[in-house]
Amino acid sequence: MVLINNLKDAILKTKYTIFLLVSALVLILDQATKLYIDRTMELYSSIVVIRDFFAITYVRNKGAAFSFLSESAYRLPVLTLISVIAIIAILVFFRKLRPDQKFTAFCLSLIFAGALGNLIDRVRLGEVIDFLLVHWHDHFWPAFNVADSAICVGVFLLVIDMFIEEKRLRRLKGK
């Protein structure tokens, strides 16, 4: 029994397990929420959650962030290629992580799952389903989704992690 518990603890502590669990959870949440919105709401309909601040609003984005490239004839192949390159780069970088870089693994898994979630939409629908709309009265932030949130949080945390890692490396060199 002790051997099984030790094995279970070892598996749950690996960077690969973190990557698989977090990526799977984020991807499932992203795709499930998009599917739910698509099946239960009419396009451009909105449900106010917090007046003058937050609404669930069903929109589709043909472009990238802030509808970048949405009117370009090359948008779909370009955005698909960028997503595939990003996903491959994340996987390559991930493999090079040290076993102790679990937080970095967590950050990369958020970014990976977000990129994959939006790529699935682009391949399946030719556009991305967005539904989270934050605004202050009449000042609106572009609508986004779980995948976009995962990418933003993952990048933000990765930047923090990079500063911490840099300090750690400087400390090690100083010794």
Task: State the catalytic residues.
Answer: 130, 148
CB 107 within 8 A of CB 28: no
d(CA 134, CA 156): 19
CA atoms lying within 13 Å on the CB side of residue 88:
6
What gap in Å lies between CA 27 and CA 110, rounded to an integer?
A: 9
153-166 b/e with 16+ CB inside 10 Å = b? Answer: ebeebbeebeeeee
CB 48 within 8 A of CB 91: no
Sole residue written with tokens 């290629």:
81
Q: Which two tokens stand for residue 147?
A: 């995948």
- Give the whole-angstrom CA distance, residue 75 versus residue 160: 32
Question: What single-letter amino acid sits at 29?
Answer: L
